[in-house]
Each structure stands twice: as structure tokens, then as C-alpha cells.
Chain A
Amino acid sequence: MNYKTVIGLEVHVELKTKSKMFCGCAASYFGEKPNTHTCPVCLGLPGALPVPNKQAIEWCIKIALALNCKINEFSKFDRKNYFYPDLAKGYQISQYDLPFGHEGSIEVKSEPEARSQKPEAKLIRIRRVHMEEDTGKLTHANVGGENVSLIDFNRSGVPLVEIVTEPDFENEFQVVQYLQKLQKIVRYLNVSNADMEKGEMRLEPNISLSEISNFQFPISNENLPEYKVEVKNINSFRFVDKAIKFEIDRQAKLLDEGKTPAQETRGWNETKNATVSQRSKEEAHDYRYFPEPDIPPITYGETEISKLKSQVGELPDEKIERFVKQYKIPYYPAEILTRNLGIATGYEDAVRIGSKANIGSATIANVVINNKIDFTGTTPSQVVDLARESARKDEISSSELSEIINSVLSENAKAVEEFKAGKENVLQFLLGQVIRKAGKKLDTNEVKNGILKIIKS
């Protein structure tokens, strides 16, 4: 049977603030000695109180603004109560009914397409963007023959931004597009490294299949499938792709057999290449949310919000469009050049330097892309030098060129016949032969026109 896939996404992004969300401890924990970045607050000791990190809140709002969200001028923190050994206080400070951002959207490519065109866009609605704190990290190990669980609280209290979408994704391709874009945006904003392998960006897709296949996205509530399966523990774009494909197959098989897949949380198992059941609906928590009494409500007025908005700067999509217009390059190279802010800036610097030497922006784009220059080991002026080198053409007289072409054409009579029979790509072969015979750097257009002229005459 034919099913329509419905996917929503929860993404956690760890901010790279200097200090933690509610205390002065250093927020960096990757590779640090366990339990060295801790204090009474992030250890949840008796009497310790949270003091919110203003920078983290403003960065969260910036992310929300970059995702075209509305900002709640009056917001607050809430306690999410549950027990887990990695949760020092017995509750997580999060946001419940008044997240900093809500009702946003971004566009992603709807499906793979030809490279030269701006692709078909698909709008993904953002339900909410909120601020919370990370938990400690549990490690299960064998120490001296005994199975033990070790807790590292260095990560406890690190600022996390949670971004929740509406169930607007139709396939794994759109999900990956969205994730790559989101990663690019937070890197542009310089608020997170969003390195998935380090856990700085974590994602949880919820996937279900609809037996009603004749609806249009955005899906309405009555068309939502009666179950959803959440998949955790995915730490790369490749795995999210695999995990979704796996789930679609698994759920389709169950539906084909007339069964409804269980509402549950599953984990991606890298070695099995499969998702495995972790927790069923029956164990769902009642988090008993209530306003965090230790932190007064937070208000951001219109002027403060527009100030933050002005700090958001040019986002990836805007940059692509500007590059296409300003540098007269096609969409695809513009997209490549803007994947990373360092490359985009380096490219623009190189174009500026190159313009003084009459080297075009398209030539520089080609040099950057073809040589995979990321501007970490190469300066913009070195790129201009490379472009100048590649643009240099040797002089050749038209009689000399005609002579060489004639000789190549007579040596490759068969290829000429093929070309005349309609095999146009043979032209490229002939072109190469002429340039090689000349032993010079020639203007390819001039040579191409010469060949065509002689063949057709």
C-alpha cells in the first residue's frame, strides 16, 4: 500500500557561551577531566540557586529571529520535574508555555534537482525555539570487575536551545536539508559550533506514516497518524538519513500487515544499522511543569528585540542570492561558496582584490571551488594570483590555428563523421586534441569556433 511519510523534528543546539546557563562555570566540557567544571549550582547542591546567563538568552533569541520566529516579549523559565541520575536537581530548568521564539519557518530544498537552478522550495514551520540546560553525562563502565555508572557534571547546566518543527517533512532528504541549513545558520550566528559528533547538535525525528495519502502538506490535525515514533541517539546526517529510511520500511511493513506501529521512543543502533525500541508510551512522564520560582520572568521590549535582529546579520539564503546577483555566478557555486562563512568572506575579499587586476568574480569562484580553497591556508590575494595564472592565454595567429585544426580534423576523420552525425560531445575531444597539438594555453571559445567553422565549411 502507498503511505505518506510525516516527520517532525526536535533539535538541540548547545551554545558556545563562555559560562554555563545558570552559574559561572566554564561551559566547555569536551575532552575535559570529569567533574572539574562544577560548582554548587550545576551540581544541584542544597541551597544553590540559578542565575540566568544573559548572553545565552540573547543568542537563543537570535536563533529564533534567524528562523523567522515571533518573539515573546514576556517570557519565563519553568521546571520540568523528572528523576534521572544525570539530572542533579531532580528537575530541568526549561521553558514550557512561553518559549523565547514561536511560529517561525524556513525554506528547504524539496527534492534533489539540477545544479544550475535554484531548487523548488519547501516551507518548514518552526513551532518553538526555547532555552534550557543540559544534563550531566552518564558512563557505564566496569571498574575493578564491578559494573558501575559514572556521572560527569561538566556538561550539567551547559546552555541548550531546543528547536521544534511542525510535522512538515515528507522524506529524509528534506530532513537532511533542514538540518544542514540549521547548522549553517547557528554557525553564521557564531553561537554554536553545532558539531554533531561532539553532541553540540542533537536531533530527534518523530516519524509516522499516514494511510491517507491524498492530503497536502502542511498536514492538518485530523490527517495526523494516530501514532508517532521518536528516534534518538543519532549523531550524524548520514545516520538520520538511514534511520528515517529504516523506520519508513519498518512501519510500512507493520501497516501492510494491518498492525499499527507502537507509539514509542527508539534509538538508532549504529552496529545493527537499525532502530531499536527504548521506551514505550506507557512509561511516558508527567513532567509537572510549573514556573521556575528562582528566576523572575524575562521581558524583552520591541527595541531590544530589533537591536538583536540587527545583530543577526546576513543569513545563508540571503548571501546566496546576493552572490548570484552581485558576482553574476549561478546558484550552485553561490551555494557552495556560502556553506561556510570563512569561505564566503575570503571569496568576497578575493573578488575585491581581483577587480583591480581585471579578474572576474566568476573566474575567482571557479578557482576557489575547483581547488577546494577554504581560506585557512590560502589568503585571498593568493587566490587572485591563482586566478590570474589560470586566466592567462597564449597568443596564436589565426592562420597557425587553422593549420593545427585542419591537421587534427584529418587525423580524426572518424570523430568528425560522428560529430556530423549528431554526436555533439565529440567536439570536446577535438578541442582537447587541438590545444594539445598547439602546446599552448588557448582561449577555448576561440578554438571551438575555429573547429566548427572548418567542419561546417
Chain B
Amino acid sequence: MISTTNLTIESILEGYKDKEFSITEIVSTYLDRIEKLDPQLNSFITITKEDALTKAKALDNNLTTEQFNNFPLLGLPIAFKDMYLTKRIRTTAASKVLENYVPAYDGTVVKKLKNAGAIILGKLNHDAWAHGGSGENSQFGPTKNPWNTEYVPGGSSSGSAVAVASGFTPLAMGTDTGGSIRQPASFTNTVGLKPTYGRVSRSGVIAMASSLDTIGHLTRTVKDSARVLEITAGQDNLDATLHKELPESYTKNLEKGIKGVKIGIPKEFIGTGTQPEVKEVFEKAVKEFESLGAEIVDVSLPHTEYGIAVYYILQTAEVSSNLARYDGVRYGENRTFFGDEAKRRIMLGTYVLSAGYYDAYYKKAMQVRTLVKKDYDEAFQKVDALIAPVSPTLPWKLGEKVNDPLAMYLQDALTVTINIAGIPGLSVPAGFSGGLPVGIQILGPHFSEEKLFQIGHSFEQQTNYWKETPKL
């Protein structure tokens, strides 16, 4: 009997090669677990059982060693946040507006992963249109935290984090516009990568805020995360904001260790807003880095306090424009089907772009954006990477903040400036407090993912928090 909670991408692919189990066995084990346990967690919106099993069987029937070389993720189960367009598989954005929308094309990353041999198990729940940090804004019901189902799993990639944490899939794709991968990863004891803006194609992923959106993923381990980025990164000629150069490999330097690596701690990230429980876990993590030989340096990112204000101006402005196409004329339902949060952001964004207000809001926010970027540029003159808590608080109870949108927005304080600056961030498990997971984020200069993996991997090998799994 296979236990999916012990599996990683690495162990699955090796198990296939060593004929430890078949692709069909793995795929059906995951599907069975989803069927049995997901009703209490609600991490999936659509399960593509038939297609997944058919594909698994077809692969099993033609398995050769050569195929493993040609298809780096051959037979690997995967699930996508429902923001990813999947050809012939319903794609809802977790909104009633697109409840019955079936895309005519696959997004670039979906195509790349399919071409690498991955098998789609289904589409994952999240805050509708990726608006939110708790999963509660989904119009398909909230997703629950497997560590304690009375608590939120974070968001917006709530289903992605829960599915990986619960052993429903070894790999879930998410999107991170203001923390939507890193924060749920932190709340569920999983590894979440927010790549540099311009590293992974956004083509074929429903846009939230185009200048901030990044396409990343959640896995059990850092090594798995690096492996997946090797597939998803790079140009496709469909996204004009993509960067040309790619490193030769993201996994090559994983084992190099971090002796002598200079790691900064931004003092603004552990200020008064941060819960003592979170601070405690973070301080313990800092000690681990020191024991691994890293040099810890205090740094300052003075414009951090403006992050939320800048983010909720730029992001809502872009949201208001990006959601304009959902008018129900050619597909989907009309605009009355939008939920409260989407309507709130459309109104805020429309307001900040309106004649007479543009200069005071949007233009000013763009100017501050430049200052936030400069903060990071200057910090990375002094250090190789930064570490910080992902969320100022532990996961909160379902329903606790739903009537206080501002309190909900303030939860993003430690994640949004990373998106504003466009730099990469890797969230890794760092321990627990009261039975709830706490993660930390490792941040680096643009296109420094290789370094982040190296640092994250060292920490993970030392601490092994990832091996803890929720009892379901």
C-alpha cells in the first residue's frame, strides 16, 4: 500500500524508473485519497479522474527507459489552480462568472507540463480571481486547513497548498500576485515558489494584476520546486514581459551549502505588527541559518510600510481593467455574478484611475513602487539574500476576518513588496506554533532562483519540517 503523504516528485519519478510502482497505481492512489478526504477540505473544484486514469494506463503500456529521458515528468500527477486555462477542462477562476467556461486552449505552463509527461488530476480551489489571502472568497466554498479544519489555509492559492499538504498531489501550480503562493505554503507546511516577474510565462493564466502576477508552484520539498521551475521557466513568444537568459540548471548547486552566504534580515519585517509566535519561529530559523555557516546581517527596507497602500492601488487598478472582458457577451455569465471582493476591487481600481484621481493615487503609487524597488536593489548590494516571516500572523479561524476587508488586506504586509519589486521569493516550512505551520520566505535579486533553492534546500535538510504531515 502506497502512502502518498511520504511521496515527493523525486521519489515518484524514481519509483517509476525502478518499477517500484506503476503510473496507474500512483495516479489512482492519489485520486482515491482525494475522493475520500477532500470533501472535508474542499481543495478541488474539478477532478479529472477518467482522463487521468486513461492517460496513466496509456503511459504504463508504452513505458521505456528512453521515455524517462525525453519526458522529465513522465506520469507525474499534477493539479492546477483554477486560474490556469486547460483545454477542454472547465476553468472557473473560482467564480460563478466562469462556472461553465471551458477554454479552447492550454496555457503555456500547462502545455509545458503536459509535454513533460505530467498527468492532470484536476483543478484547484482558490479565492475567486485570486483575490484574497484566506481562500474564503471562493464562490465554490472555502478550503480548510488540513492541520486544523477550523482554520484558513491561506490564499489565494488555498486549494494548491492544501492539496500538496494533504497528499492529494505532489505538485500544485499556483499564482502569486501579492503572496498568494508563499502565504498558503507557510500556512500548510509546504514549499511555495514565487518566481521573478518575467521568469515564467503568464500566457494562458487568467490575469489578476498583470504587472504583479507570477506563475509558480507548491511542492513538498525545495528540490522538487527547483525541478519544476526547470520545466516552466523560459520564453514562449506569447508573453512580452519574459526575460531571455536562463540558467543552465536550477538543481545543479542545490547541495553546495550556504557557508559564507550573506543573509540579511529586514528589520521592518519583524516589527510591531508581527505576532510573538511567528517571531519565535523566525528567530529559531535564523539560528539554524547561522549554524549552517551563513553570515546574518541586519538590513533596512525603509519603504516597506507603504507596501500595502501601493499594492492595493496598483493591483486594483489592473484588476478593474483585466476583469472588463468578463461581460457575458461571448462566454460566461454577466457581471452580476461577480462576488463582493471582485466588485470591491473593480470599484477601487476604477476610482484610482479616474480623471482627477489618477495623479493622487495611481501615479503616486507608481513613484513609490520605484522607491520600493530601490530599497531591494540597495539591500542586495550588501547581501546575497534576505529571510523574513511570510505572514505576520498564524493562520486564523475561518470567518474571523471576512467582514473586515482592511484587516484581511493588512495580512499581506510581508509579501506584497516582493511582487511590487518583481523579485523571487521561496517560502519554506520553518516549524509550528500551537499545531499550526509557520513558514519563512527567502528573497533574492531578480532571477536569483538558483540561489534561493540552494539556501532553502540547506535549511530543509537541516530541519526536516517538511516530513511532518497533517493527520486526516
Contact = CB atoms under 8 A, between A and B. Distances in A.
A147 B310 CA distance: 47
Contacts of B206: 46-47
A85 B204 contact: no
Nearest to B83: A47
Interface string A89-114: 11100000000000000000000000
A49 B320 CA distance: 16
Given A47-B107, A286-B355, A90 B241 contact: no
Contact of B324 (A43, A52, A81): A81
B240 A47 contact: no
A79 interface: yes
B104 A51 contact: no
Contact of A52 (B204, B240, B353, B354): B240
A48 B206 CA distance: 8
Contact of A47 (B207, B209, B362): B207
Contacts of B209: 293
Contacts of B321: 79, 81, 90-91, 288, 290
Given A90-B321, A91-B321, A286 B240 contact: no
Interface of B is mostly: loop
Given A45-B104, A47-B107, A293 B325 contact: no
A48 B240 contact: no
Interface in A279-308: 286, 288-291, 293-296
How extensive is the interface on chain B, given as a class? 35 or more
A88 interface: yes
Given A85-B329, A288-B353, A290-B362, A49 B324 contact: no
Contacts of A291: 366
B325 A49 contact: no
A49 B98 CA distance: 19
Given A46-B325, A51-B237, A51-B239, A293 B105 contact: no
A293 B211 contact: yes
Interface residues of A, number: 29
B254 to A, nearest CB: 32
Contacts of A44: 325
A131 to B, nearest CB: 14
A369 to B, nearest CB: 50
Contacts of A43: 330
Contact of B203 (A49, A89, A91): A49
A48 B203 contact: yes
A83 interface: yes
Nearest to A294: B210
Nearest to B210: A293
Contacts of B237: 51
B42 interface: no
9 contacts: A40-B204, A45-B105, A46-B325, A49-B239, A51-B240, A83-B327, A85-B329, A90-B321, A90-B325
Interface of A: 40, 43-52, 79, 81, 83, 85, 88-91, 151, 286, 288-291, 293-296
Given A46-B101, A46-B326, A89-B324, 20 more contacts: A40-B204, A46-B103, A46-B207, A47-B85, A47-B203, A47-B205, A51-B239, A52-B240, A90-B321, A90-B324, A90-B327, A151-B330, A288-B353, A288-B355, A288-B358, A289-B353, A290-B358, A291-B366, A293-B211, A295-B241
Nearest 4 pairs of A and B residues by beta carbon: A90-B324, A293-B211, A288-B353, A293-B210
